[in-house]
Every structure is written in structure tokens, then in C-alpha cells.
Amino acid sequence: MRASHLIAVSEATRGDLMKRYGEGVGGKTSVIHEGISEEFHPASEEEKKRVRIKYELPEIFFLYVGAAKEHKNVQMLIDALPQGKALVLVTGGKESVALRLKDGVIMLSGVPEEDLPALYSAAACLISPSLAEGFNFPVLEAFACGCPVIATKRGSTPEVAGSFASLIEPTPEELRKAMENPPVGNTLEAMAHAKTFSWERAAKQTADIYASLLSRIR
């Protein structure tokens, strides 16, 4: 690889680069975590009621936000949903058409960005069943909105979630068990954790790297 320096969005991505291009790449790769929008914060009761009415949602539901590509593991999540529980999928794309839904599953496509904070805030828990993630935005967005998180121990998710999510193996049994006993609490600590992932911090770190590289060629 001829690049003078690389920026990876997570240590997991840096590790993937090293596996692909060799250990030497690691020495010229900096990790700069991405940020989340300040629009993600706990919604008011009025806002939560509005999205429940708008999308005809039950009072208590699990939430998934993201694509439906195979590595996202959405079908396993659907299949693992316990009877009597509700799961809302905010997804889209051609892969979502192939999903086999069942009772209790509601799929929403084309949800505007401005509705997401209220959906996170209204959900009992966000579930991220992914098998691979370079950087897991929904986990941090959920934290910022005061929503507990169940996520899998894969890719960058443990790195991004820290100790604030309920981390599980991506199996039907683990997913089912987690939904039968969803996490509660730690919302204030998780919200504070999410706030450390800011675009201002990412921009400053990126600018510092560019300045350092430019200083070497002057």
C-alpha cells in the first residue's frame, strides 16, 4: 500500500487492514472514532407519543436500526424474537424485501432522520445483532437517547459500546435470552459515553494528522 498514512474509524477496522495488507500497515494507521449528531438526545413524552401514533407502534417494543444486508444478521434477530414481544425494524434496501417476517415484527422503511431520536427514546431496547461492524452508529445513537442496548461481540461493537451495552454472542439462543431479560439502567452513564464521540473531536484529530504529515514535506 503506497499511502503515507491511513485513518481507520475503529481499532477493529485497523485490525482488518493489517490482516489484509500486512502488519506493517498498522504502524502508519491512526484510529479516529467517528461522531454522532447532536440531534440524538432523549425525546419528550409528546415526541414519543407522536411516533407511536405515526407508525402505529405498541407501547413496548425492541428496535433495530440499519441495513438488512447478510452480515447485519437481521433474519436471525427476527427468528429469535420471543412470542408476545414486539420488534420494530427501521431498515430498507433490496435485502429487506427478502426478510421473512412473523407476528410481532413491524418493518418501517423511509423513516426520516428527524424521527429517529423519538424512536430510540420510545424503544424498550435497541438490538444490534450484527456479525461485523466497522463503526456502530445505532449503538451510540441509542445511548445518546437514553435507550438501553443489546449488541453482539463482533467487529467494532464492543469497542464502541464499552461497558454500557449487554454484549452477547450472535446466536438465536443468546438473542432470545437477551430479549426475554432486556437490560435496564446505566442510561446516564451511557449517554455521557456517547457524548465523547463528537464530530468536533474527530475533525480536530484528523486536522492534527494532516498538519503533521504536511510538516514533514515542507
- Enter the DSSP assignment of 39: T
Label residue 218 by pLDDT band (50, 70, 90). Answer: low
Q: Is residue 50 part of a domain?
A: yes
User: 66 and 106 share a domain?
Assistant: yes
Q: Is residue 1 part of a domain?
A: no
Q: What's the rounded mean pLDDT across residues 44-50?
A: 97
Q: Residue 24's domain spans which residues?
A: 6-35+198-217
Is the pLDDT at 41 greater than 80? The verdict is yes
Give the predicted TM-score (pTM) of the model: 0.94
Q: How far is CA 202 from the centre of its chain?
A: 18
For residue 62, which of 169, 114, 138 has the smallest C-alpha distance? Answer: 138
139 within 8 A of 151, measured Cβ to Cβ: yes
The reported pLDDT for the residue numbered 195 is: 94
The reported pLDDT for the residue numbered 37 is: 94
CA pair distance 85, 11, nearest whole angstrom: 35
User: 100 and 167 share a domain?
Assistant: yes
Task: For residue range 49-107, list pLDDT tens digits in order.
Answer: 999 999 999 999 999 999 999 999 999 999 999 999 999 999 999 999 999 999 999 99
User: 23 and 95 share a domain?
Assistant: no
Could you give the angle at the alpha carbon of 93 between the alpha carbons of 97 and 105, nearest 5°? 50
The reported pLDDT for the residue numbered 213 is: 84
User: 202 and 191 share a domain?
Assistant: no
The reported pLDDT for the residue numbered 4 is: 83
User: 29 and 63 share a domain?
Assistant: no
The reported pLDDT for the residue numbered 119 is: 98
Q: How far is CA 136 from the centre of its chain?
A: 4
The reported pLDDT for the residue numbered 215 is: 82
User: 15 and 60 share a domain?
Assistant: no
Question: 87-90 and 62-65: which strand pairing?
Answer: parallel
User: 190 and 202 share a domain?
Assistant: no
Alpha-carbon dihedral sign for residues 103, 109, 182, 131: positive
The reported pLDDT for the residue numbered 186 is: 67
CA pair distance 33, 196, nearest whole angstrom: 10
The string over 120-140, giving b where at least 16 C-beta atoms fall within 10 Å of a residue's C-beta and e elsewhere, is bbbbbbbbbbbebbebbbbbb
Q: What are phi and psi of 11, to 5 degrees?
A: -65, -35
Q: Is residue 122 part of a domain?
A: yes
Task: For residue range 163-217, list pLDDT tens digits in order.
Answer: 999 999 999 999 999 999 998 866 899 999 999 999 999 999 999 999 988 887 7
Q: Is residue 102 part of a domain?
A: yes
CATH number, domain containing residue 111: 3.40.50.2000
Alpha-carbon dihedral sign for residues 82, 87, 93, 94: positive
Q: Is residue 187 part of a domain?
A: yes
User: 114 and 189 share a domain?
Assistant: yes
Task: For residue range 102-161, list pLDDT tens digits in order.
Answer: 999 999 999 999 999 999 999 999 999 999 999 999 999 999 999 999 999 999 999 999
Q: Which residue has the cell 429487506?
A: 96
CA pair distance 121, 144, nearest whole angstrom: 9
User: 151 and 175 share a domain?
Assistant: yes
Number of domains making up the chain: 2
User: 95 and 132 share a domain?
Assistant: yes
Strands, sheet with 166-168, edge to edge from the N-terminal-most edge strand? 105-108, 87-90, 62-65, 125-128, 149-152, 166-168
